[in-house]
Every structure is written in C-alpha cells, then in structure tokens.
Amino acid sequence: MNAPVFVVGPSACRADVPALSEHLAAIVRDSPADVVICDVREITSPDASTIDVLARLQLMARRLGCGIHLYGAHPRLRGLLVLTGLSEVLPLLPDPPPEDAGDVAGSGGLVGVGREAEEREDALHVEERVDPGDLVT
C-alpha cells in the first residue's frame, strides 16, 4: 500500500498550521495508512519556524493515530532537525534516485514505505584469535 503524500510549501509558517492541520486530518481520514509522507522538497531555506510547523504537524498526525515521515529534506533542514534533537521525532525517508526525483505521488520514490524485518542467522562458534604482536593497554 502506498502512503498518502502531503506537500508542505517553502514558506510554511506558524500561521499556516491550522490550515495544514485540517488538510492533514482530511488525508488521514481518507486513508487507512499509518504513515503520511510529508513532501518537504520545496523547503530550501528552513528556520526555527519551519521546524515548529513540522513538529506541530507530527503532533497532529500522532493524535490522529498515524505519523508523518519527511521526504526530500534539504541538507539545511536535515541539519536543523539534528541540531534541535527532532531527527527521531520527524523521521526522514531516503532521497530518491535522480531519475525518480519528479515522481513523488506515483510509484517512483515512495513504493513500499514501511519497515521489513531483517532476517539473518547468528554466527555460531565464533572464536577470537589473539595476535601475540598486539599491544595490551
């Protein structure tokens, strides 16, 4: 199932939060998905206000029983998320390959959004060798 896409424009500010929240609520009501993709590719000059808007949208999404994942975040936005400690609260999706960059709502960069368990065997009978030439500190 493809997650719905929600676009946040380049000049989103706190005054836009009520309208953006209404739009997000409508998307969540119309979709059974537990994740909404928040397309932030247009945000190239993010600031504290941008982070505030995105955090409020995530809060709204969680109140509605889902969450948002950011798609196409500019390096400046990524840096601000890390700096503010919100990089785990506002998860980032990997950027699409260049040939798929224009295909957000289609099948290009967003197919299979979600997690898949990794399956692997545990290493058995692993023994470490000690090299007599290694210095012990």
CATH at residue 49: 3.30.750.24
133 is a domain residue: no
pLDDT at 31: 87
Measure the CA dihedral 118/63/45/14, to 10°: 180
Phi, psi of 17 (to 5 degrees): -55, -45
pLDDT at 33: 87
125 is a domain residue: no
60 is a domain residue: yes
Domain count, the chain: 1
Alpha carbon distance 95, 110 (integer Å): 10
* E strand segments, 1-137: 5-7, 35-39, 67-71
Structural domain including 20 reads 5-97
pLDDT at 109: 45
pLDDT by residue for the chain (137 residues), tens digit each? Answer: 588 999 998 888 899 999 999 999 999 988 888 999 999 999 999 999 999 999 999 999 999 999 999 999 999 999 999 999 999 999 999 876 555 444 544 444 444 444 444 455 555 555 556 666 666 55
